[in-house]
Structures are given as structure tokens and as C-alpha cells.
Amino acid sequence: MEYKEFCEQLIELVGGKENIQSVTNCMTRLRFKLKDRDAAKTEEIKELTDVIDVVSNEVAYQVIIGTQVQEIRPEMNQILGLTGENKQSETGEKEKFVTMALRVLSESMGPILIPIMAAGLLAGILSLISLTGLVSAEDSTYMILDSIRQAVFFFLPVLIAISFARNLDVNEYLAVTIALTLLSETINGVKGLDFLGLKLPETTYSNSFFPIILSIIFMKYVGKVLEKVMPKALQYFFNPVLILIITLPITLILFGPLGTYIGEGLNFVFDFVGNTFGSWSVVMLYAALQPFLITIGAGNFIIPIFMNSYATLGYDPVFTVAWIISDIAVCGAVLGYFFRSKDQKQKQLFATTAFSAFMGVTEPAIYGVFVKYRRPYLAVIIGGGLGGLFAGLMKVIGYAPVSLFGLASFIGQNNYKNFYMMIVAVIIGFVGAGIAAFILGIPDDEKVKGKSAVSVETNEEAVTKLLVKAPVKGKNVVLSNVNDKAFASSALGKGLGIEPEEDLIHAPVNGEVVSLFPTSHAIGIKTEYGVEILIHIGINTVELEGKYFESFVKQGDQVAVGDPILRADMAGIRSEGYDPVVITVITNTADYLDVLPSNDSSLSSQEDCLTVVV
């Protein structure tokens, strides 16, 4: 249990075991389905050692960790008392159909990528071995190893049945039985079949995975109906066989043709786009914009599309090419920053994230560098876009879903031109993004501190946040506990209070002094991004008529983070019987998605105390 302590901390911070409905993972992140997302302490989770970032959207509450998530997930399952893939618990809350569909699709497709990528990488290795002449394609050793790749793609419906059954709470063994039946010699691709006199269309189930997905969904509802109508004493004996004999004919009659039409429809869309705009446009756009999709947690939604291409066409004309170019462009962009930076701490960050991106895992670079400095996004748009444009114009296609290390798979069946053009496209993406990042440069730290672009809790897109510093050192006071109804009710805006341990008040942001009360007990500052901050010293201290208060600024002045703006004699205020709590609120809270106060029990001056989600 190497990650036991981390798992226990994470479980507590997402709201405890009772708040977790389900946990799944993809290559780099844990995906939580939570009963109450507000119970999750997002900012504290981000501070955990193994956490890169947190993204929350309609699909899931996602904690980005890195490739070690494969080791963390089993330990978390053990602590939660789950075996294998956990089942979603019943909460009484009805999940929207679209949200449920996106979640199940995303969570089910992720695990399937592992054997598919392994098969793709094996195909690349075999191509290299064959190219060197050490082993020919007719050699039995080659054929035995290649049978792994063939098996993965032929039995893909079985893998899909397992993954979807786990996520939909369907019996996995019944799901696999249906999948294997569809792939049997008596059904798969056989002409002239009929069921009870009804002619069945010829369907090659090994070349399409949509029928099995529809079949598993249908199986779930058949099981629910049988549980209601079948006496409990008979369910164990009769429900499994009834589920099979109901699901199989419906799949053969309805889902087989329907799934085939869906697959053909996707192919038609790409043919139409290719013939109208050129397939190069899709390759270019995806290679340029993939980091944005990863930022918002939407990277998995292309999986059904490219898997359909492999199943029906035998190759992928768009996404495999595009994501490899985009990944290497991310590496190039961060490496460009490495050569541009003179700060050793920055260089270490850029070096490690560049290496991770080179290995095909771009999340550390995207969440550690891109969302902070923002300009690398533009570098990948330039470099990745150029590489994708070249690959699209040269009509490069992928024969297996691989990473950079599987480039040899682009040879396919002696298609060396395809292989060479892909290498050129990868070089263009890498060099173009690296040069663009070097030229665009690294924003000054002060600018980054003033406005940090990060991915936060949204439904569709990444947004920005403004960090507000603590104006004074002291004990953190929850706003609702402040002894003033107007502030405690958040009627004046969300924020927090601080029991001051010093007299000097500092500017919490860069901005303009837009208001200063004559008594100097309260001051308003507006940032260049429109955030309006009110700092109010004490409860009812206006009655002191300025006694014990001194201001160092006037209305209209520009202030920078940390500048002294006011002085209040806290001991004198207390001696008069007044509460000197320093209240900081965002008066235009309604203009933003949220205002999140710090959870730290005490705050030092200039430590982050509020996060405004823009």
C-alpha cells in the first residue's frame, strides 16, 4: 500500500467514503462521481503532493495525478472496500441522460485503451523487426506475436462488453456471453440467417462495436424489468437465461443494423468533411487544439470515433496522426521554455514535463505549464497546426492507435511513404512549437501572479481565476461567523474575516482605489479585470469617526500587491470595545462563477485568502 496515506487524504478531501458514488480512472486521472461536489475541498486537493490539478465538469470530478494513477486506483478500491470496477450507488438523485451517457462513455472507453495501445505498439515493433529482415512476416514467431494484435481488434466487442457492463452495473459474464455469441462463426458475417422466420441482415460484429454497446444498455433494462416481475425465488435460476434469449434476438434484429448505420454514419461525416473541406483541416485542427480538450477533460470523447475507423476501415485517417503530432508539439513547446528560461526552478519544471510529454503523457505539461503561462497553447496551435496540416495534405493515416514510440506502425503493409511523411509531420510539430514558445517567451512572474489561468469547475470550458491576498496577518474567520448580519449573510458579497495580529493593512491585489471612506476604516479596490474588493476594518468602527485609523492612499491611486494602504491601531480599537476583525469581500460576487475562501486556519500577510473564479 505505497499510496495508502495519499488515498486516505484524498478520500477525506472529496467528502469521505459516504460522498463517493463511483471511482474510475483513465491513463492519468481519477474520475469521481460524487453525491455532493460542494463537499469536495478542491483547493486542498490541489495541494496534495501527487496531484497535478483538478478538473470538474458535467462528466466527472477529475483529479489529475499522472501515470501512477494505475497504481493508486487499486489501493483506493481496497480502502473503499470495492472489488474490480466499483458500482454506482443509488442516491435517489436522477442523473440527466446526456450527463450519464457522457460519463459512461468516457469511463468505459478509458480502460479499453490499454490493450489497444499495447497492440498498436506491438504492431510498430513487429514492423521494425520485419524491416530489418531479422524475422519475416511469414515466420511463425512473427505470426504468433502478431496474433495478439489481431485478437485485440477481433475481440474488441468482448473488451467493450466488460467495460460497459461494469459501468452500467450489468453482469459482466452475461455481457461477455452476448459478445462472444455475436463473434461466433454461426453469426459473425454470416449471410442468410433468419430468426423465427424473420430474415436477419448480414452483419460483421468483429468490425463494429456500436451493436455491443447498445446491447449492453438494453440488457441493463431487461434485467431491471425481470427483477420487478419475476418472483425472487426464481430470479437466480431464470433471469440469466431470459436476459440472454431476449437480448440476443433484439441485438441481431435491431442493434446490429443500427450499430452498423451509426458506424457508417460517422464514416460518412468524415468523408463529407474530407471531400468538402479536406481531411487535412480536421487533422490540423485537432493537432492544434488537443491541449484545450485535455484541459477541460474532454480528451476521451474521440475514442469511439477513431475506434470505429479502425473497426470499419482498418485504419484511422485523422485522430491517431493528430494526437501524436499534438503530443510532440506539447513537448516542443515546453522544451522551448526550457531553453528560454534562466531560472533553475523553472528549468527543472520544464525539463520534467517535457520528458513526460515525449513519453506520451501531456497532462503534467498542460496543467503544470500551459494553464499557468497560457502562451504554450498558442505555440501548440502554431507547431501542432503546421504538423497536422502537412500530415493531412500528405494523407497520412494510422494503422494502429499508438504513441510516438509506435511510429513504425505507420508502415502498415509496406506503406513506407506514409511512415516517412509521418516522421516529417512529427518533426514539423516539434520544431514549430518549440520555436514558437521560445519566441513568445515566458510571462513575468508578477503578471502570472496577478492573473493565473487555470482549469476550474465549469461545464464546458476552461476559465481563469484571480487570487486575492490576505490584507493582514491573523486568524481566518468564516464570513458567516462575523458579528455583522450584512456581511455574515453575504449580502455584500462573498469573502472572509481575519482576526488581525498586526496593525498594517496591505493591498491584496493590483488595482485602483475606487473608494475610501473619510474615516479610513474601509477601502474599495478594483482590479484591471473588474473584480471589486472591499476591505472593512472592524464592526461598527465608523462610530470611532476616524480615531485609530490612518490611510496612505487616496481615491484614484494605483496600488500593487503588498503596498501598505491603511494603518489601524488594533489595540486602541479593542480598548474602545469594538471588534477589529478585518473583513474582505468581493462586492460584485454575482458577476463571477464563485468566490472561494481559503480553508487555512491562520493566514500570513500576502498569502492567498480568496479565489475569484471568473
pLDDT for 421-471, tens place per residue? 999 999 999 999 999 999 998 876 444 443 433 333 333 333 456 789 999
Q: Write down the pLDDT at residue 457.
A: 39
Identify the CA nearest to 107 among candidates 81, 135, 88. 88
185-240 confidence digits (pLDDT tens): 999 888 888 888 888 888 888 877 788 988 999 999 999 999 889 988 888 889 99
What whole-number percentage of the chain has pLDDT above 70? Answer: 87
Q: Write down the pLDDT at residue 496.
A: 94
Q: Write down the pLDDT at residue 298.
A: 57
432-446 confidence digits (pLDDT tens): 999 999 999 887 644
Q: Considering the entire predicted model, what is its pTM?
A: 0.53
Distance CA 444, CA 529 (A): 18
The sign of the CA dihedral 118, 119, 122, 123 is: negative
For all residues of the chain together, what is the average pLDDT? 82
Helix (H) or strand (E) holding 29: strand 29-34
Q: Which of 253-267, 406-420, 490-504 has the largest mean confidence?
A: 490-504
Q: Write down the pLDDT at residue 581.
A: 94
The sign of the CA dihedral 430, 434, 437, 439 is: negative
Our answer to whether residue 609 is catalytic in this structure is no
Distance CA 85, CA 165 (A): 10
Q: Write down the pLDDT at residue 452.
A: 38
Q: What CATH code would you report for 4-87?
A: 3.30.1360.60
Distance CA 258, CA 281 (A): 29
- Map out the domains of the chain as residue ranges: 4-87, 101-269, 279-453, 464-613
Active-site hit among 7, 26, 331, 609: 26
Q: Does domain 464-613 have CATH number 3.90.1300.10?
A: no
DSSP letters for 212-259? HHHHHHHHHHHHHHHHHHS-HHHHHHHHHHHHHHHHHHHIIIIIHHHH
Same fold, 4-87 and 464-613: no
Burial class (CB in 10 A: 0-12, 13-18, 19+), 234: exposed
Max intra-chain CA distance, the chain:
97
Burial class (CB in 10 A: 0-12, 13-18, 19+), 468: buried
Query: Which residues lie across from 550 on neighbouring strands?
Result: 567
